[in-house]
Amino acid sequence: MTDAAKDSTLAQHGLAQHASVLLPALALLFVALAVSGRASANDAALYGPAAPAGSAFVRVFNASDNPELEVRVGDEVLTDIPPWNVSDFVFLPAGDHAVVAGDQRHSSTLAAGRYYTAVAGPDGLQLLENAYPENRLKAVVILYNLTDAPSLSLHTQDGGTEVIGEVAAAEQGQREVNPAPVQFAVHDQDGPVADAPSVRLARGRVFSLFALGDTERPRLVWAVN
């Protein structure tokens, strides 16, 4: 065999060796890209699109027995909100927006990075700002006073600890707490009004207690985001 033929044979052998190493590596790369693409698609389906910078966040509380409540928040339409329950948050650009439910309309300026709850009920529309957990090791508890009481507060059920101080009518108060097992009660200025339903607090979650109606027989409803 000539030297040229030997060199050609060696070159072909070398290419074959490189191919035997390169092809499996490329195959693994393609598999990894495919898995990553599927994971991204699954994440998008699970969590939805990410909110752009400068967004405001709004959810709707259906403070009625109407199972067909439809609320428009800016360009977003929220439906299928069960009675006495709350929707997920939707995001929209900060600025002036209208919240519309039937013939009721409420216009407000929403700030970037802030969270709001629109309360839709027989008494009209209210838009209240609420907290969002900054410390993911804590739970946030919010008390909404939507009763006829001038003020309400939230205590442990035994009355020994005030969790949230006086909250004026049509306002809310909040506090970050440890996610320990605890039962709550709502008080007015004269003392206990009603025990809150049981709830299991969890880290990084927002627990909203809506107090509605007459303080003689208030409706207390938890909503969790």
- Do 133-225 and 50-130 fall under one CATH topology? yes
| Closest listed residue to residue 169, CA positions, set 131, 119, 224 | 119
Question: What's the burial of 152, exposed, middle or buried (CB within 10 Å: 0-12/13-18/19+)?
Answer: buried
| CA 79 – CA 87 distance, rounded (Å) | 8
pLDDT tens track for 79-120: 989 999 999 999 999 999 999 998 899 999 999 999 999 999
Q: Given this model, what pLDDT does residue 180 score?
A: 86
Q: Given this model, what pLDDT does residue 137 score?
A: 87
Domain 50-130 has CATH 1.10.3210: no
pLDDT tens track for 121-153: 887 899 998 877 677 889 999 999 999 999 999
Q: Fold for 133-225, please state it.
A: Immunoglobulin-like (2.60.40)
Record the pTM: 0.74
Domain ranges of the chain: 1-48, 50-130, 133-225
Q: Show the tokens assigned to 154.
A: 């939230």
Q: Taking phi first (over 0 means left), then psi (-120 to 50 degrees means alpha), and beta for anything else, what does residue 25 get?
A: alpha
